[in-house]
A and B are shown apart, each in its own frame.
Chain A
Amino acid sequence: MTRRMPKGGGRVGDVSPPSISTRLLELVLPPSLRDAFVGDLIEELRRRQASEVGSSPTRWYRRQVLRSIGPMAWRRLNASAVAQTALSTGAGFAAGWAWLWLLNQPLILGPVFRLPGSSLAIVLVLLEASPYLIAGLAVGLLATAKPLLAVLATGALVWAWPLLRAWWSTGELHAPGGLWSAVMILACLLLGVWIIQLVRRRLSA
């Protein structure tokens, strides 16, 4: 019997799903859905191959995997409080430092230093606090399971970061900023999280 070559490659009725795509998908799927989801994709791939629906069943399969990985990974992440807390802590820390780096660019802060004395002092205090506020906004966006734990973890990370950096470069340990800086960091983080929750409540009302 002669088997016809379908457009996507492989023989009709003897189609193996692309293995890398399948592995990738299995990695992000929750165990309870793994068999059902991948099985359904394989079943549909073989049906398309047999009935020649669409241009290339293999391409269709890869596209389905690509479109499904994001939502499925997000769903899985949200189901695990530990993973979600770790992600929101990391994202908060990264957002705060990215904002700090941006502020340190001369083009951004240049006009600020041309402000008159008292206005400059207020703006500088706000700018100093803004990375922690941005970090709090990022934590609030991602941490829906344990926001307080994520705030504390981000705060500790931000507070201890200069100490860790100095230890890494000089090998010496110095005490990090005082109690006041810790309170300010926590207050700004909490303010960021509170703003996000307020916006969320308003949007869902």
Chain B
Amino acid sequence: MRKRSSLGEFELLVLATIVRLGDRAYGAEIFRELEEQTGRDIAMGAVYTTLYRLEEKGLLSSEVGEATPVRGGRARRYFSIEGAGVEAVRRSVQALGALIGDTHLGWGTT
């Protein structure tokens, strides 16, 4: 039986952040949101390699946006989640919920 590729922890965080930010999420915004929500010291390179990989897997799509002076005249790249990406997030969260839900950690009981 061929295994479905599963999401890594950081991939799941990035996808969830894009879902949270909506359709026109871009690198700096995703980076800030991730740092704020996870409290981690994150490398922009890690965010971009993950975005790149998720796009290769067909879970994300991207389009080039407008250039602004605050970015040194460089264009933004907007990322949006595809149907397969939503499904991958749903499967991962469901699996995590099933594993942790009934444990003494008490997920789903409060």
Q: Is the CB of A44 within 8 A of B28?
A: yes
In order of increasing CB-CB distance, the 8 nearest A-B pairs are: A68-B45, A39-B74, A36-B77, A39-B71, A40-B27, A40-B28, A67-B43, A35-B74
Q: Is the CB of A36 within 8 A of B26?
A: yes
Q: Is the CB of A64 within 8 A of B44?
A: yes
Instruction: From known contacts A33-B77, A36-B77, A75-B49, infer whether A44 and B72 are also in contact, taking CB-CB under 8 Å.
Output: no
Q: Is the CB of A64 within 8 A of B48?
A: no
Query: What are some 30 contacts across the A-B interface (CB < 8 A)?
Result: A30-B52, A33-B77, A35-B64, A35-B67, A36-B27, A36-B75, A36-B76, A36-B77, A38-B72, A38-B74, A39-B74, A39-B76, A40-B28, A40-B44, A40-B71, A40-B76, A41-B28, A41-B44, A42-B70, A43-B71, A44-B32, A44-B44, A46-B70, A47-B28, A68-B45, A68-B46, A69-B45, A71-B45, A72-B45, A72-B49
- Nearest A residue to B27, CB-CB: A40
Contacts of A36 in B (CB 8 A): 26-27, 48, 64, 74-77
Interface residues, chain A, with chain B CB atoms under 8 Å away: 17, 30, 33, 35-44, 46-47, 64, 67-72, 75
Q: Is the CB of A44 within 8 A of B45?
A: no
Chain A proximity of B68: nearest CB distance (Å): 8
Expressed in whole angstroms, the Cα–Cα distance for A157 and B46 within the complex equals 36
Q: Is the interface of A mostly helix, strand, loop or mixed?
A: helix
Expressed in whole angstroms, the Cα–Cα distance for A2 and B43 within the complex equals 34
Contacts of B43 in A (CB 8 A): 64, 67-68, 71
- Nearest B residue to A204, CB-CB: B3
Contacts of B48 in A (CB 8 A): 33, 36-37, 68, 72
- Nearest A residue to B49, CB-CB: A71
Q: Kindly identify which residue among A30, A39, A44 contacts B75, using a CB–CB cutoff of 8 Å.
A: A39
Contacts of A43 in B (CB 8 A): 28, 68, 70-71
Contacts of B49 in A (CB 8 A): 71-72, 75
Instruction: From known contacts A33-B52, A40-B26, infer whether A64 and B45 are also in contact, taking CB-CB under 8 Å.
Output: yes
Chain B proximity of A28: nearest CB distance (Å): 10
Contacts of A70 in B (CB 8 A): 45
Chain A proximity of B8: nearest CB distance (Å): 13
Extra A-B contacts (9), CB below 8 Å, given A36-B75, A43-B28, A68-B46: A30-B52, A35-B74, A35-B75, A39-B74, A40-B27, A42-B72, A47-B28, A67-B43, A68-B48
Expressed in whole angstroms, the Cα–Cα distance for A81 and B75 within the complex equals 29
